[in-house]
Structure 1
Amino acid sequence: MAVIELGEYGADFTANPYPYYAKFRASGPVHEARMPDGYRFWLVVGHDEGRAALADPRFAKSPSVIGVRPPEEDIIGVHLLGADAPDHTRLRRLVTGEFTGRRVESLRPRVERLTAELADAMEPAGRADLVDAYAYPLPITVICELLGVPAEDRDTFRRWSTELVTPGDENTMAEAMRGFAGYLDALIEDKRAAGPADDLLSGLIAARAEDGDRLSGPELRAMAYLLLIAGHETTVNLIANTVRNLLTHPEQLAALRADPGLLDGAIEESLRYDGPVETGTFRFTREAVTLGGTEIPAGQSVLVGIGALDRDPARFPDPDRFDIRRDTRGHLAFGHGIHYCLGAPLARLEGRIALRTLLDRFPRLELDPEGEPWEWLPGLLMRGVRHLPVRW
C-alpha cells in the first residue's frame, strides 16, 4: 500500500479535504501517510474503525509508550488529553464534579447577555467579520469568566492559543507555552491566596476525592491550560462553521428560519458535516494492532480523522449533503471513549444561543460579497476560517 503524501495536495486539501478522504477511504479505512514535513503516521478514515480506535486502550495518548517525552510536559505538565489510565481516570474524577449540568445551565443567562451585547455592537455597521466580532469573543469571555481570568488578559490568551493550535515556528510555540505556564502559575497562586470563590479554577483548587486526593500545582496548571485552549478554540469554529454552512446552503437556512425547532439539528449536522476538529490529536500503538484489515505495527503514531469519519457513507448516507433534518446520532465531533470532550455540553449551549441570537437579530444575514476570500486554518487539527465576512 502506497504512503499518502499529504504535501502533494497543497492548499486545495486544506480548503476542502473531504473529497480526498473519500478517495482514501475507497481503497481502505486505514492508510499510512506522510506530513509535508516528512513525519509519517497512520490515518484512519473509516467511521467504524475510527470509533473503535478512539475507545481502544492499545492506542495510547501519551507518547511515553513509544519512549518519547514531549517537551511541553516540562513546561505545562500532563493534562487529560495526553494522559492514559490510570492517570487519566484519576484526573478526570477530580475535575468532573466541576462540569455538572447545573453549572453549565447556570451559564445560560450570561451567554444570552453576551450574545445580545455582541449583536448590539455589530448591528449599526451593517457588516462584520463574524469571527472577530462574534464567534471569538463569546467563548473566550465565557471560559475566562468561568476560570476567573481577568478581561484585560484575554487578547494575550488569544495570541498564545492561536500559536499553539496551528502549525508554526517551534520557537514561537514554545514561547507561547512558557508565557501560558507562567501566567497560569501566578493566577493559581492568586486564587489560593484569595480563598474559596465561585469560579471554576477555585473549584479545581479545592476539589478533593473521597480519599483526600487533589490536583497538584502542575496538574492545576495543565488543566487550566487545556480548558482555556479547548474551551474556546473549538467553540469559535463551531459557531463560525455552523453559520458558514447555513449561509452556503440557503435552502437549509430558510428551513431553519421557518422552523426554529430545527436549531439543535442545525448544530449537530454542522458538527458532523464540517466540525471544528478535523482530526484527533495523536495516538500511539502500544502493540501491533489490526484495524480495518490493516496491521499497524507497535510504536506508531496514529491520527483518527474525525472529519473523515463523519463523512463515511457507510454510517451517514449521502454524507456530502448538508441536511439539518438528518439523524446525526453517531457523529464523532466530540470524540468517543474516555477522552470524550468534557466541555461538549457547554459548547452546545454556546452554539445554540449564538446561532439563535444571530438569526433573530439579523434576518437578512448573508455572506459579504465584498469580503476577503476565506483563509483556512492550516494543519490537520482545527477546521475553520480565520475570518468570515458577513453583512445584513
Structure 2
Amino acid sequence: MVPEISLTDPEVLTDPFTAYGRARGESPLARVSAPGFGPVWAVTRHEDARAMLADRRFELSPDSYQRPDVPEHCRPYLRTMSEMEGDEHARLRRLVSPAFSARRALDFRPRIEPLVARLIDELSAEADLLRDFARPLPMDVICELVGIPHPDRPRWREYGAAVASGHGQAFAASIPGIMAGARAAIARRRESPGDDILSDLLAVDGVTEAELVTLVWHLVLAGQTPANLIANAVAALLDHPGQLAALRADPGLMPHAVDELIRWCGPTLLTIPRYAREDVELHGVRIPRGDAIVAAVAAVNRDPRSFPAPDVLDVTKPASGHLGFGHGPHFCLGASLARVQTEVALNALLRRPLAPVTVERAPDPGTWRLSALVVKL
C-alpha cells in the first residue's frame, strides 16, 4: 500500500521530517498531493532516491521555466541548466563546472569574509538574522562573484528579495534589471577581466553570451538556498546548545557541521519534479509514462538505512551522502560555493553571543524555512 501525503496536512507543514519519515517506514514510495499540485510520486528512501535522480528514464520538464508574467524578451534567459537534459546539459555543465569547483570556492573565501563581517557590524543589538543577514548575504556574494559595481548592489539586493518571493509584480519587474545588469557585467569583464566567475567563463571557448546571462540569472535564483540554510542552521544550533558549544570550542568542525546541518535541517523538502519518459516499475509499482516523481529529501536525509541515529543532530560526525544538493547529472552546480558561504557566515556569527527572541517558521510545504529569526547579540 502506497501511503498518501497531503501537503496541506498541518503535521506536514509543522514537522515534515516526522510525517515523511512515517511514510518512509511504510513504503519506499508515497503519493504527495495538494490543491493545484499533484498527485506526484515521492521516493522516500535514500538509496532509492539516489537511483531515481540518476535514472535517465525520468526527465525534467522542458517547460518548467516558462513565466508568462515575465517580459517576453527576457524569457529565453530563464531556461537554465535545470531545464536541460542529455547532451545539451552535459556540454554546458562540462564547460562551466571548473568555475564552480571546490577549489575555486575556497579561492573566493577571502572575498566572502568581509561581506559577512560588514553585515554583522551593521546588525543592531536585537536583529532579525533572516531579514538583515541571511537574505542579503547571498546577493552580496553573487554581486562580488560576477563583478556588479558597488553602487548597483543595493538594487541587486532588491532583485534578490523579489526573486525570493517567487511571484508578483516585483518578481516580474526584477527580471529585466537582472538581465541588463548581467549583460553590462559581461561587457565590463570582456574589456577588463578580473578574479571572478564571469572572467573565468569568458576565457572558456564555447560559452555564449546568452548562456552567461542565463547563468547569472541561475545564480540569483539558486542564491536563495544559502539564505534559508543559514537561518535554519542558526535556529537549530540555538535549539541544541550542546552542539553550539561544540562548534564554538572547535571551529575546525565547521565543514562537517555544515553538511550535517544540511542533512538535518536543510531547506529542500522535495526535489524538482521529474517525469517518466516511459512506463517504469519501481518497487513493484507501475509509474505510468508522463507521471511526475520527486525525491522526498525530508525523508531520505533521515533514512536510518543510510545514516546512524538520523534524527539526532551531531555536528561532530561526517554527513556525507545527504541529498540536500541533489544527486546525479543535475547535482547543484553551486554546492561548493553554498558550503563555503555557510561556513563563513556561521563561523562569524558564532563568535558573537546569540540569544533567541523570536523564531517563526513559514508554512511552506516545499521549503523548510523561517519567516523570522530575531536574536539578541
CA–CA distance in structure 1, aligned partners of residues 192 and 108 of structure 2: 22
Paired residue for 1:390? Answer: 375
Paired residue for 1:311? Answer: 302
Deviation at 1:377, TM superposition (A): 6.1
Deviation at 1:174, TM superposition (A): 4.7
Deviation at 1:160, TM superposition (A): 4.4
CA–CA distance in structure 2, aligned partners of residues 216 and 35 of structure 1: 40
Residue deviations 1:142-165, cap 9 Å, x none?
111101223444454445445545
Classify 1:129/1:279 alpha carbon distance in 2 versus 1 (closer, same or farther; 3 Å): same
Residue deviations 1:159-217, cap 9 Å, x none?
54455455655x7655554554455345545555x354443224324421xxxxx2234
> Structure 1 residues 288-297 or 329-338, which shifts more?
288-297
Aligned runs of 1:1-392 on 2, under 5 Å?
Answer: 1=1, 4=4, 6-10=6-10, 12-61=11-60, 63-64=61-62, 70-72=65-67, 74-122=75-123, 125-164=124-163, 168=167, 173-177=171-175, 180-185=178-183, 187-189=185-187, 191-192=189-190, 194=191, 196-208=193-205, 214-230=206-222, 232-360=223-351, 362=352, 364-368=353-357, 371=358, 373-376=359-362, 378-380=364-366, 382-392=367-377
CA–CA distance in structure 2, aligned partners of residues 332 and 69 of structure 1: 22
Residue deviations 1:349-375, cap 9 Å, x none?
121121111112x1x31211xx3x504
Deviation at 1:131, TM superposition (A): 1.6
Deviation at 1:291, TM superposition (A): 2.4
Classify 1:252/1:7 alpha carbon distance in 2 versus 1 (closer, same or farther; 3 Å): closer
Contact 1:111 1:138 in 2 (8 A): no
Classify 1:319/1:203 alpha carbon distance in 2 versus 1 (closer, same or farther; 3 Å): same
CA–CA distance in structure 1, aligned partners of residues 306 and 316 of structure 2: 16
Contact 2:229 2:266 in 1 (8 A): yes
Instruction: Give the secondary-structure state (helix, strand or coil) at the position aligned to 2:293.
Output: strand
Contact 1:167 1:379 in 2 (8 A): no
Q: Normalising by the residue count of structure 1, what TM-score does the alignment of the two structures yield?
A: 0.85
| Amino acid corresponding to residue 182 of structure 2 in structure 1 | L
Would you identify which runs of 4 or more consecutive aligned residues in structure 1 move more than 6 Å? none
CA–CA distance in structure 2, aligned partners of residues 259 and 206 of structure 1: 40
Residue segments in structure 2 that go unaligned for 5+ positions in a row = 68-73
Deviation at 1:334, TM superposition (A): 1.5
Contact 1:166 1:379 in 2 (8 A): no
CA–CA distance in structure 1, aligned partners of residues 286 and 49 of structure 2: 14
Residue deviations 1:202-242, cap 9 Å, x none?
4324421xxxxx22343222221112221x21111221111
Work out the percentage of aligned pairs sharing the same amino acid. Answer: 36
Deviation at 1:114, TM superposition (A): 2.2
CA–CA distance in structure 1, aligned partners of residues 65 and 248 of structure 2: 48
Residue segments in structure 1 that go unaligned for 5+ positions in a row = 209-213
Aligned length: 371
Deviation at 1:275, TM superposition (A): 0.7
Deviation at 1:246, TM superposition (A): 0.5
CA–CA distance in structure 1, aligned partners of residues 244 and 209 of structure 2: 47
Contact 1:143 1:228 in 2 (8 A): yes
CA–CA distance in structure 1, aligned partners of residues 211 and 329 of structure 2: 18
Contact 2:44 2:295 in 1 (8 A): yes
Contact 2:98 2:104 in 1 (8 A): no
CA–CA distance in structure 1, aligned partners of residues 192 and 250 of structure 2: 48
CA–CA distance in structure 1, aligned partners of residues 253 and 83 of structure 2: 36
Classify 1:165/1:32 alpha carbon distance in 2 versus 1 (closer, same or farther; 3 Å): farther
CA–CA distance in structure 1, aligned partners of residues 126 and 251 of structure 2: 24
Paired residue for 1:211? Answer: none
Higher strand share: 2
Residue deviations 1:261-313, cap 9 Å, x none?
32223212111001122222121111122223322111111121222210112
Contact 2:5 2:30 in 1 (8 A): no
